[in-house]
Structure 1
Amino acid sequence: MTPAMLLAPDPVPLCWRRSFPGATEQARAVRRFVGCLLDGFPLLDDVLLAADELVANALRHTESGQCGGRFTVEVVQTGDRVRVAVTDQGGPGEPACREAGELDESGRGLRTISLTAASWGWHGNDRGRTVAAVFGGERSA
């Protein structure tokens, strides 16, 4: 290890979290929230697309999209990497990346995220789950 490496600390992560009402018009508010935080980030368009897809999935497939529902968006930036995550109130089924047919009107969101993000994943159950995508750094295979 060189002396310069000893003096250079690891980047300090910056973390922002905000809760939103479970209504479709909140997708625009999420894009504004994330866009303002990451202004100038080279992969901002990909992060915004992922945030939009994750919110749409939370509203469409979980209790967060029901009357009185809520979801939370978290953005973590560490150096040249950004993690965007959406935590919902759970629902039936599990998030899955699948091939959508040419004429399908939906079903491409997580597939798109898997192609643009360095990595993505989820954890949780039918009472609540978090789906996250990481951008920047090296893309995983």
Structure 2
Amino acid sequence: MYWRRIFPGRSDQVRAARTFAACLLDGFPVLDDVLLVLDELAVNALRHTRSGRPGGCFAVEIRHDLTSVTVSVTDQGGPTIPRVRPLTDACDPAALAESGRGLLTVEALATSWSWTGTPCSRTVHATFAAPAACR
């Protein structure tokens, strides 16, 4: 199964994206993890790309089959690439920054994640394996 929806590039639309996914994936065993990761990806699209500028947008795609769920967020590109920021020494004030750790959450919760794209548009994918008992 496959669904896709485009959301205006506003912060209130992150909640709308989570609601969209929650309705479609009701009953998926790790739904809370999926929704947390989707939240991170949507927020990143708004904070770090042109999607968060006036008139911007982002797209959410959901693929669900017998073995997994993949959520993807496509943004309108930006100057940086998605990357996991390493944990640093806690004595360093920059290490205590509130932002910049979202992809660590994605990496910890998703079975796998990747990204594709160019400076004009990119898509970040996160895949979650369905537990064997639910297949």
- Count of residues in Structure 1 that have an aligned counterpart in Structure 2: 125
2:120 matched to 1:127? yes
Shift of 1:99: 2.4
- The answer to which structure, 1 or 2, has the higher relative contact order (CA under 8 A, 6+ apart) is 2
Q: Are 1:118 and 2:118 an aligned pair?
A: no
What is aligned with 1:46? 33
Q: So what's the TM-score if we normalise by structure 1?
A: 0.85
Runs of 4+ that moved beyond 3 A: none
Map 1:1-141 to 2 at 5 A.
Answer: 14-100=1-87, 102-137=95-130
Report the residue type matching 1:44 in the other structure.
Answer: L
- What are the Cα deviations for residues 75-105 of structure 1, in whole angstroms up to 9, with x where unaligned? 0001130000000000101000112555211
SS at match of 1:46: helix
Give the aligned residue type for 1:67.
Answer: P
SS in structure 1 at match of 2:96:
coil
Q: Which amino acid aligns with 2:110?
A: A
SS at match of 1:41: coil
Q: For structure 2, which runs of at least 5 residues remain unmatched after alignment?
A: 89-94
**Structure of greater Rg:** 1
Task: Report the residue type matching 2:67 in the other structure.
Answer: D
Instruction: Report the Cα offset of residue 137 of structure 1.
Output: 4.7
Measured on the aligned residues, the alpha-carbon RMSD in Å equals 1.3
What amino acid sits opposite 2:15 in the alignment? R
What percentage of aligned pairs have identical amino acids? 55
Q: Secondary structure at the match of 1:96?
A: coil
